[in-house]
Amino acid sequence: MRKVYLDYAATTPVDSRVIKAMKPYFDEKFGNSMSLHSLGIEAKKALENSRKTVAKFIKAKPEEIIFTGSATESINSVLKGVAFANKKRGKHIITSSIEHHAVLETCKWLEKQGFEITYLPVDKDGFINLIQLENSIRKDTILVSIMHANNEIGTIETLKDIGTVCSNHDAYFHTDGVQTFGKIPIDVKKMNIDLLSVSAHKFYGPKGVGATFIRKGVKIEPLLHGGGHEFGLRSSTSNVAGIVGMAKAVELRKKEMTSESKRLRKLRDSLIKGVLKIENSHLNGHPKTRLPNNANFWFNFIEGESLVVELSSHGIYGSTGSACSSDTLEPSHVLLAIGLKHEEAHGSLRLSLGKYTNKADINYVLGVLPNIVKRLRKISPFKGRWK
Ligand X SMILES: Cc1ncc(COP(=O)(O)O)c(C=O)c1O
Nearer to ligand X, 157 or 361 (CB): 157
| In the complex, minimum distance from the CB of residue 10 to ligand X, in angstroms, rounded to a whole number | 6
71 near ligand X, rule: CB under 6 A:
yes
Residue range at the interface with ligand X (CB under 6 A); choices 106-114, 131-139, 173-181, 373-381 = 173-181
Q: Which amino acid is at 57?
A: F
293 near ligand X, rule: CB under 6 A:
no
| In the complex, minimum distance from the CB of residue 153 to ligand X, in angstroms, rounded to a whole number | 11
SS3 of the chain: the string is CCCEECECCCCCCCCHHHHHHHHHHCCCCCCCCCCCCHHHHHHHHHHHHHHHHHHHHCCCCHHHEEEECCHHHHHHHHHHHHHHHCCCCCCEEEEECCCCHHHHHHHHHHHHCCCEEEEECCCCCCCCCHHHHHHHCCCCEEEEECCCECCCCCEECCHHHHHHHHHHCCCEEEEECCCCCCCCCCCCCCCCCCEEEEEHHHCCCCCCCEEEEECCCCCCCCCCCCCCCHHHCCCCCCCHHHHHHHHHHHHHHHHHHHHHHHHHHHHHHHHHHHHCCCCCEEECCCCCCECCCEEEEEECCCCHHHHHHHHHHCCEECECCCHHHCCCCCCCHHHHHCCCCHHHHCCEEEEECCCCCCHHHHHHHHHHHHHHHHHHHHCCCCHHHCC
Residue range at the interface with ligand X (CB under 6 A); choices 65-73, 90-98, 234-242, 352-360 = 65-73
Tell me how many residues contact ligand X (CB under 6 A): 14
Contact criterion met (CB below 8 Å) for 110 and 94? no
15 near ligand X, rule: CB under 6 A:
no
157 near ligand X, rule: CB under 6 A:
no
| In the complex, minimum distance from the CB of residue 102 to ligand X, in angstroms, rounded to a whole number | 5
| In the complex, minimum distance from the CB of residue 95 to ligand X, in angstroms, rounded to a whole number | 12
Nearer to ligand X, 96 or 192 (CB): 96
Nearer to ligand X, 12 or 86 (CB): 12
| In the complex, minimum distance from the CB of residue 366 to ligand X, in angstroms, rounded to a whole number | 26
Using the CB atoms, write b or e for 234-271: b if 16+ within 10 Å.
beeebbbbbbbbbbbbbbbbeeebeebbebbbebbeeb
Active-site residue, 166 included: no
Binding mask 303-322 for ligand X (x = CB under 6 A): -------------------x
Nearer to ligand X, 7 or 310 (CB): 7
Nearer to ligand X, 72 or 284 (CB): 72
328 near ligand X, rule: CB under 6 A:
no
54 near ligand X, rule: CB under 6 A:
no
Contact criterion met (CB below 8 Å) for 110 and 100? no
348 near ligand X, rule: CB under 6 A:
no
Nearer to ligand X, 151 or 192 (CB): 151
Nearer to ligand X, 89 or 333 (CB): 333
165 near ligand X, rule: CB under 6 A:
no
Q: Pick from 254, 324, 356, 367 the residue near ligand X by CB under 6 A.
A: 324
Give the sign of the dihedral formed by CA 34, CA 40, CA 41, CA 46: negative
102 near ligand X, rule: CB under 6 A:
yes
Q: Pick from 95, 145, 151, 294 the residue near ligand X by CB under 6 A.
A: 151
296 near ligand X, rule: CB under 6 A:
no
Q: Which residues within the stretch 184-243 sit at the binding site for ligand X (CB under 6 A)?
A: 199, 210
144 near ligand X, rule: CB under 6 A:
no
Which residues of the chain form contacts with ligand X (CB under 6 A)? 70-72, 100, 102, 147, 151, 176, 178-179, 199, 210, 322, 324
Active-site residue numbers?
Answer: 324
